[in-house]
Amino acid sequence: MDTHRINLHLVSDATGETLNAIARATTVQFEQADIVYHRWSLIRTRFQLHRVMEGIEAEPGPVLSTLIDRALRAELDTTCQRLNVKVVNVLDPVIEVLQEAIGQTAEARPGRQYVLNADYFSRIDAMHYVLAHDDGQAQPGLAEADVVLVGVSRSSKTPTCFYLANRGIKAANVPLVPALPAPPGLEEVKCPVIGLTLAPEALIDIRRHRLRLIGGGAHTGPMRQDNSEYVDEDAVKAELLWARRFCNSRGWPTIDVTRRSIEETAATVLQLMESWHNRKKAAESLPAT
């Protein structure tokens, strides 16, 4: 099948993260398409919009917009109509549903999701927490965690914790090492503990890539293994089996991250956290015996 090349313009009055996420979720469905992205962020004045419209005219293609200002939207719509270019205001369907449900008209104020409110500072606080509690650091602080992720070396604990921190969740991660005892305090935490695991072949590939990046030599992380053991198939299988049994014996759920993106792993963590809290509430509501 021939590759079809198109220009895709993403026009936002804020950072453009919403549009980038929508574009990724939709364009991935078209593997044969060669899509050239044109990102236009923080578009809040007519002068800035005119620069966008010049870019669209120079390289025509569909336009996805999250502009809130009505005057700017109208001008963009008019220009796209003149250029015979389709424009989609992606927030409109959601806003219309909410307006009807709430019985209020939406305020046309761009970038409101980025104001310095309590949620913003909660995310900053969570990010500091993750930095301080990465890879088993500052173990006394585990009592403050919203969730603790455990797993063998290179099981995507750290990136998942950082993704969760962006949601305001204090996520600590603790490496599981067969030769070492469980960190003190891990089994006494008052929050969900979730294990991350993956297929041996995938883990070996990740570890080999890591060793290439650091130039070989002995592994310097908590594993403290030599290279042969760190990527040996039998050793890795035994390590993963031990870690899974370690979690199972403590009633900790595990997530197989082999074919999951960080976003998908984090979403599953959030689901397991919700289930844990629901069970906790149900247990607390039972009458005392």
The response to whether 152 counts as a known ligand-binding position is yes
The CB-side HSE value for 11 (13 A sphere, CA atoms) comes to 32
One DSSP character per residue, 152-211 reads STTSSHHHHHHHHHTTT--EEEEE--TTSPPPTTGGG-SS-EEEEE--HHHHHHHHHHHH
Beta strands in the chain (DSSP E): 4-11, 33-40, 63-65, 87-89, 147-151, 171-175, 193-197, 254-256
Paired tokens of 192: 């969900």
Beta sheet of 87-89, edge-to-edge order = 33-40, 4-11, 63-65, 87-89
Give the span between the Cα atoms of 128 and 122, in whole angstroms.
10
Determine if residue 161 is left, alpha or beta; phi over 0 gives left, psi from -120 to 50 gives alpha, anything else beta.
alpha
The response to whether 157 counts as a known ligand-binding position is yes
The response to whether 154 counts as a known ligand-binding position is yes
The response to whether 281 counts as a known ligand-binding position is no
The response to whether 12 counts as a known ligand-binding position is no
The response to whether 156 counts as a known ligand-binding position is yes
The response to whether 228 counts as a known ligand-binding position is no
Binding residues for ADP: 151-158
Binding-site residues, in ranges, read 151-158
